Amino acid sequence: MPFLLAMDLPIGSQVPFMSNPQLPLDPIELAVPTEVDDGNVESFDPVKRAVLLADTLPRLWCGTYRPFDGNPEVDVKLTLTSLTPMGQMVNLRGSMDLGDVATPVQGNLHAKSDQLDLIPLASPLIAGAEPGGVFLGLQAFSPSAWESPRLINTNDPGGGIGGRLALSSECAQPPLQPLW
């Protein structure tokens, strides 16, 4: 049966360390030296990226919105009129045309994760999109998903179903018509 021996030693006295033959390793060998690798330090600054995004993000986005409830797909045009960096976020303001419905929008784009929330402010919106909902994007503006403010809407049975918003900053310009 193993036993433990304890004794009082005067302060400052040194006891020589003897390795224990019962241990597979000397406890001193278990100490891991610390190594600093400068290549593993994250140097990304989301606050600076928010400022850069506010300066360089395209102001015009075009695409489509397809509700999941079977309502027809509609063309979408998003015009950003104000982009303001606020810490790691870019505050977005502008207008969005969802088919024939024009609505002011506001939202936020996170500079580090590229997560977007975009809120249409008009009432009423198009079929399948209820006021109070939000477009959520995990990859900035495309693709985004419609998240209704509630699961069931008695005024619009498809209001809680959701949909997909696909936007691109490369909006096709209509071809020029000849003057003659």
* Contact status, residue 83 vs residue 92, Cβ threshold 8 Å: yes
In tens, the pLDDT along 8-26 reads 666 766 655 555 555 555 5
Q: Three-state DSSP class for 27?
A: helix
The pLDDT, as a whole number, for residue 90 is 97
In tens, the pLDDT along 47-105 reads 999 999 999 999 999 999 888 878 889 999 999 999 999 999 999 999 999 888 899 99
Q: Three-state DSSP class for 70?
A: coil
- In this prediction, residues 100-118 reach a mean pLDDT of 93
Which of the pair, 164 or 91, is modelled with greater confidence? 91
* Contact status, residue 161 vs residue 69, Cβ threshold 8 Å: yes
Which of the pair, 143 or 164, is modelled with greater confidence? 164
Kind plus residue range of the DSSP H or E element containing 33: none
Percent of the chain with pLDDT over 70: 64
In tens, the pLDDT along 65-78 reads 888 878 889 999 99
Q: Which of 85-94, 139-148, 156-165 holds the top average pLDDT?
A: 85-94
Of 8-12, 33-37, 123-127, least confident by mean pLDDT is: 33-37
Q: Is the pLDDT of residue 144 over 70?
A: yes
How far is it between the farthest Cα atoms of the chain?
Answer: 109
Kind plus residue range of the DSSP H or E element containing 167: strand 163-168
The upper half-sphere exposure of residue 154, i.e. CA atoms within 13 Å in the direction of its Cβ, equals 0
Peptide bond into 124 cis (omega under 30): yes
Give the pairing of strands 89-98 and 74-86: antiparallel
Q: Is the pLDDT of residue 158 over 50?
A: no
* DSSP conformational letter for 50: H
